[in-house]
Amino acid sequence: MQRKIEVCLTPALLDLYAIEESIVVVIDILRATSSIVYGIDNGAEAIIPVAQVEDCLSYKDHGYLLAAERNGEVVEGYDFGNSPFSYTSEKVAGKTVVLTTTNGTKALHLARERAAQVVIGAFLNLDSLCNWLKDQDKNVLLLCAGWKDQFNLEDTLFAGAVVNRLRASFVHFDDSSVASEDLYVLARQDLRAYLSKSSHSHRLAALNIEQDVQFCLQLNVCKAIPVLKGERLLAL
């Protein structure tokens, strides 16, 4: 099989792609998919992504941890938001976390309607994810969650990192794969410095989550590849 890799730069473009036979990698680097990877790697039994803050509440009496973030801040009354530092083994090992986020959950839900398989990517599990993708006999779509359906730099850079590592194993690349890879190669020496050019970065700075940003840009801290089974993200 001459495998194809494509990058969907925002969920608003997902309808353009045939993904019924593809593995879709959902990417929301700041911070949903980074936290999911870290949480599963730290032994969370499952993470359940939900679309609305209100949906979280219906899980409240089942002993689940509830995580809700809107516009980058923890929603009042919830256990935590989507800072990766909330997903340490002390907090999540053996637990199920119900998570709602601004962009990541939306991308996940769109992808699962049609994709053959949905997995979670972040810089934290880059090599582990890429090694696994290499061994599957499937096309890959890298789905950037973006910011409110708009293109963002950090998700695109991660998509480019995946393309860069998979180049030798795939034959067909779309234009957004080419662009993403080139941006990643340009930025990889210092991802944080590169992202300081981003409008999103200014927004995040205002939220005082610089530690989170630094954490999410680390490569290969985790081995886990979260995969969607029904409504749950589990370790592959």
Site string for its own copies, 132-171 (x = CB under 8 A): ---------------xxxxxxx--x---------------
Site string for its own copies, 177-196 (x = CB under 8 A): -xx--xx--x----------
| Per-residue b or e along 27-55, where b marks 16 or more CB atoms closer than 10 Å to that residue's CB | bbbbbbbbbbbbbbbbebbbbbbbeeeee
Q: Is 5 in the site for its own copies (CB under 8 A)?
A: no
From edge to edge, which strands make up the β-sheet containing 4-8? 73-74, 65-70, 96-100, 46-49, 232-235, 226-229, 117-121, 23-27, 140-144, 4-8, 172-173
Residue closer to its own copies (CB basis): 149 or 231: 149
Q: Is 172 in the site for its own copies (CB under 8 A)?
A: yes
Q: Is 22 in the site for its own copies (CB under 8 A)?
A: no
Smallest distance, its own copies to C-beta of residue 194, A: 9
Check residue 224 and report its DSSP letter: -
Q: Is 203 in the site for its own copies (CB under 8 A)?
A: no
In this chain, which of 175, 189, 193, 230 binds its own copies, going by CB under 8 A? 175
Check residue 167 and report its DSSP letter: G
Q: Which residues pair with 25 in a beta bridge?
A: 119, 142
Query: Which residues here bind its own copies, judged by CB under 8 A?
Result: 9-10, 12-13, 16, 147-153, 156, 172-176, 178-179, 182-183, 186, 197-200
